[in-house]
Amino acid sequence: MTSGLSLQPGQVVWAQLGPAVGHEQEGKRPCIVISAPHKTIRGNKSLDIAIIVPLTRRERMWWTVVKVEPCRAVPQLSFALCHNVQAISTERILDKSLEPLDERTFAKVRVTLKKVLGL
């Protein structure tokens, strides 16, 4: 919601997504921060964007979805929709968790993202 937000990879935030088209996620939902580029290449102007993967509670048996067990950052069983990775303005971030996602789950998300993006 504010410019210059300090975000870390693996952190869970609540964001306002949408409007959606097709299978995109929309509405207020938890998201995993993948990256939050801070500066432009030239100068020191902040980009104010975050690369995120939205979460859902609806189970999908797709290879692009990572199961997220309940933890402090995500108190309910959830699923990371790695095929729906997106860049959002930090103005869409409504709230951020104090707890990061556990490292093992975040590693699974990163591996799945590499496959989804063909990296």
Model pLDDT for residues 49-92, shown as the tens digit of each residue: 899 999 999 998 999 999 999 988 888 999 999 999 999 988 88
For the record, the structure tokens of 67 come out as: 């199961």
CATH of domain 11-117: 2.30.30.110
> In the chain, where are the structural domains located?
11-117
pLDDT at 117 over 70: yes
Q: How far is CA 77 from the centre of its chain?
A: 16
Compare 25 and 29 and report the one with higher pLDDT.
Answer: 29
Q: Give the span between the Cα atoms of 68 and 64, in whole angstroms.
A: 13
The pTM of the full predicted model, rounded to 2 decimals, is: 0.84
Q: State residue 1's pLDDT score.
A: 42
DSSP-assigned letters across all residues of 3-45: TT----TTEEEEEEE----TT---EEEEEEEEE---B-SSSS-
pLDDT band at 3, cuts 50/70/90? Answer: very low
